[in-house]
Amino acid sequence: MEADRDVFVSVHVSSEWGADPLWVVTTTNSVRTPCPIDAFRTRYGISAGLADELAGWDQAFRDTYRPNDPLESGFDTEAEAVAWDETGRRLAIRLAGELPDSVRVIYRSDTDEVVRA
């Protein structure tokens, strides 16, 4: 039955130390749920190249975590943080280009930026 069909609504691109960087919202689950990049690629058909770049971007952020001093975690310089943020924004734009037009893509940084509504 059509009402029970799970339809992909949006993806939020947001790197976090303890979760995957792609957060999916569907018609049957309106709560943003992290999705591993490989699972996202399989389910939604993004290219291997983009999946690899998203994984590298996410790993660059995860590498800034300092488990012995979490409050000191983060990029060493503002320039590194800005470059990482710009890369994430570009990847979100590429992701929007590989997904159906009906899917909303949001890049989550200091402020939420709708890449495609």
Is the pLDDT confidence value at 70 over 50? yes
Q: What's the number of domains the chain is made of? A: 1
Helix (H) / strand (E) containing 81: helix 78-98
Give residue 28's pLDDT band: very low, low, confident or very high (50, 70, 90).
confident
Structure tokens at 82: 């800005």
Q: Is 66 a residue whose pLDDT tops 80?
A: yes
Tokens 């012995």 — which residue?
Answer: 68
Examine the pLDDT at 65 and tell me if it is beyond 90. yes
End-to-end C-alpha distance for the chain, whole angstroms: 27
Provide the pLDDT for residue 4: 54
* pLDDT score, position 59: 96
Is pLDDT of 1 > 90? no
% of the chain at pLDDT higher than 90 = 73
Please, are residues 26 and 64 in contact by the beta-carbon 8 Å criterion?
Answer: no
Maximum distance among all alpha carbons in the chain? Answer: 53
Domain membership of residue 75 as a residue range? 2-116
